[in-house]
Structure 1
Amino acid sequence: MKTKIILFIVAFIIWLGLTWSVELLSLIVGVGVAILVAFLISDMFVSEVPLFKKPVRYLWFLYYLPVFLWECLKANFDVAYRVGHPALPINPGIVKVKTQLKTELGLTFLANSITLTPGTLSVDVDKEKGYLYIHWINVKDKEVEEATRIVVERFERILRRIFE
């Protein structure tokens, strides 16, 4: 119920920001929409965020941001080179990588980090077996261990300290 209340408040504030109106009819519709949103999608949110349990995890998150931004920058230049090259040197494919992350939030962060990095896209997550399937613009190795080292390890090493 706490999640629904928080989601209702956030949805209503967003409604007010989008409509920029305090007329009675607009407020009534906004409350209705916020209630509908809160009840329809509140189950999609993670109920417990591990960051709140140990404050040192915030420091690891602050460390993760520049690492992530650096990897994105490198990948941007790599993709720009490949797209601009006359021979279009790509070797696209889907690789299976192993992850040690177990929490839903950790897996989501890892999959999103991979997707937000140009040249890679998280296609599927097998939570039970601990695999992610990644579409990669330039597959360097299809072996699970080597692909994991190249694509996942740089993010997972830090994300484990944040979410596990």
Structure 2
Amino acid sequence: MKKWTSFVGAFILSYLFWILFLMQDFNILKLGSQELIVGVIVSIIVAYFSSSFFAKKDGLWLFKKFRFINLIIFIPVYIWELIKANFSVAIKALSPNLNINPGIVKITTELQSDYGLAMLSNCITLTPGTITMDIYEDGSENAIYIHWIDATTEDTKEASEIIKGRFEYFVRRLFN
């Protein structure tokens, strides 16, 4: 049953992305039957090769408990955090005196799933000024070691709130 649901979940996600990439001017009526048929074929091929990596337990996890809606809501939140971090790093880089304090800080998270930890780490790494160095899993509380371009604090709790920001809330809603 797991393989079948993983295949279906990967197929649906691939096909949705296919349609999103082909839409012109957000008008789904401009898509022809050829594009839709080729999309089905490509999505079947992609699902065949990627379904074993798509989900460990349930292949349709993204389509349950409003997770897909939470993912759609998370995208503009992430873009806004990315814009803020870009401006912050640009201001620091372009200032006449480079006033930064690089350091490695430990942040804690209550996320337990591998996918959740990976997504939180990627969100942090893709945000300018921070790079995830290591994930330390220890039972109920996991730690992530971050290289921070301007380490304003060494306190784990305060650094966790600054770096994780709003990411952890949405990642928790997606993966826990």
Deviation >2 Å, runs of 4+: 41-50
Bigger relative contact order (CA 8 A; separation at least 6):
1
Q: Which amino acid aligns with 1:51?
A: L
Q: 1:57-104, CA deviations, whole angstroms, 9 ceiling, x for partnerless residues?
A: 111111111111111101101111111111111110010000011100
Corresponding residue for residue 33 of structure 1: none
Q: Does 1:52 align with 2:93?
A: no
Unaligned runs of 5+ in 1: 11-37
With normalisation by structure 2, the TM-score equals: 0.66
Structure 2 residue runs without a partner (length 5+):
12-48
Deviation at residue 52 of structure 1 after TM alignment: 3.4
Are 1:72 and 2:93 an aligned pair? no
Asked if 2 retains the 8 angstrom alpha-carbon contact of 1:46 and 1:105, the reply is no
Q: 1:135 to 1:43 in 2, by over 3 A?
A: farther
Deviation at 1:47, TM superposition (A): 2.6
- How is 1:1-164 mapped onto 2 (pairs within 5 angstroms)? 2=3, 46-48=55-57, 50-54=61-65, 56-128=66-138, 129-164=141-176
Flag the 1:114–1:46 CA change in 2: closer, same or farther, 3 A. same
Shift of 1:46: 4.4
Cα shift at 1:153? 3.6
Structure-1 separation of matches of 2:113 and 2:144:
14
Contact 1:124 1:132 in 2 (8 A): yes
Q: Equivalents in 2 of 1:130, 1:70: separation in Å? A: 26
Q: Distance in 2 between matches of 1:67 and 1:107?
A: 18
Cα pair 2:3 2:52 within 8 Å, conserved = no
Taking only aligned residues, the RMSD between alpha carbons, in angstroms, comes to 2.5
Code of the residue aligned with 1:159 in structure 2: it is V
User: 1:57, 1:85 → 2: CA distance?
Assistant: 41
Partner AA of 1:115 in structure 2: T
SS of 2:166's partner is: helix
How does the TM-score come out when normalised to structure 1? Answer: 0.71
Structure 1 residue 134: Cα displacement: 0.5
